[in-house]
């Protein structure tokens, strides 16, 4: 049984930073669909060619493509005990695709944020797909497509919230406690 932990929250909330630390501390693979997609784009794979423009605009790659890529990754032997998902699911359809035998959604960590502060942080981070326009699109997409997952997982009794604007180590300690529940 693979115990899945999901890091949920808007772009720029620090999910990647915390997933990295939690991954190390709990010896679980950190799976970021954003990182995987950017690798496909860099390597100009078939998926990368399709995804490149979508990423630049800040839109979502289709559920089918991302889900296939993710499920394939979860089949890897390093995920047999568990994994941390960062950036997946981003839609209800993606969440439903995780409801399969052998996977258990144990824990969803919601990164709670203040939008203005986030946009400022993201522009400072300076990633290629972090233009003002694409950031705006990504927030809209988050509100429309991804935020409904908050209620979805809350109703399942697996949602735990952390304030994403604390000290990195304080946030890490809170998440660690939730990992031990």
Determine if 87 is a binding residue for ligand AMP (CB under 6 A).
Answer: yes
List 22, 31, 66, 164, residue binding ligand AMP (CB under 6 A): 66
Q: What would the two tokens of residue 153 be?
A: 């997982």
- 19-27, 60-68, 101-109, 166-174 -> range binding ligand AMP (CB under 6 A): 60-68
Determine if 82 is a binding residue for ligand AMP (CB under 6 A).
Answer: no
Torsional class of 126: left (φ above 0), alpha (ψ -120 to 50), beta (otherwise): left
Determine if 30 is a binding residue for ligand AMP (CB under 6 A).
Answer: no
Rounded Cα gap, residues 88 and 100, in angstroms: 15
Is there a contact between 92 and 152 (Cβ–Cβ < 8 Å)? yes
List 90, 103, 122, 175, residue binding ligand AMP (CB under 6 A): 90
Minimal distance in Å, beta carbon 158 to ligand AMP? Answer: 18
Q: Is 31 exposed, middle or buried (0-12, 13-18, 19+ CB in 10 A)?
A: buried
Determine if 14 is a binding residue for ligand AMP (CB under 6 A).
Answer: no
List 13, 28, 55, 164, residue binding ligand AMP (CB under 6 A): 55
Is there a contact between 77 and 137 (Cβ–Cβ < 8 Å)? no
Query: For 89, phi and psi rounded to 5 degrees?
Result: -80, 155
Determine if 40 is a binding residue for ligand AMP (CB under 6 A).
Answer: no
């Amino acid at each position: 049984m693979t115990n899945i932990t999901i890091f949920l929250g808007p772009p720029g909330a620090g999910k990647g930073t915390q997933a990295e630390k939690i991954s190390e501390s709990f010896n679980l693979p950190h799976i970021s669909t954003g990182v995987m997609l950017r690798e496909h784009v860099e390597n100009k794979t078939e998926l990368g060619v399709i995804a490149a423009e979508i990423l630049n605009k800040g839109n979502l790659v289709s559920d089918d493509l991302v889900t296939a890529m993710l499920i394939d990754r979860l089949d890897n032997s390093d995920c047999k005990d568990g994994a941390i998902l960062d950036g997946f699911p981003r839609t209800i359809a993606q969440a439903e695709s995780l409801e399969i035998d052998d996977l258990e959604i144990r824990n969803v960590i919601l990164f709670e944020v203040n939008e203005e502060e986030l946009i400022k942080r993201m522009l400072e981070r300076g990633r290629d797909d972090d233009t003002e326009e694409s950031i705006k699109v990504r927030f809209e997409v988050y509100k429309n497509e991804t935020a409904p997952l908050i209620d979805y997982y809350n109703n399942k009794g697996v949602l735990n919230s952390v304030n994403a604007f604390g000290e990195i180590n304080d946030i890490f300690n809170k998440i660690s406690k939730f990992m031990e529940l």
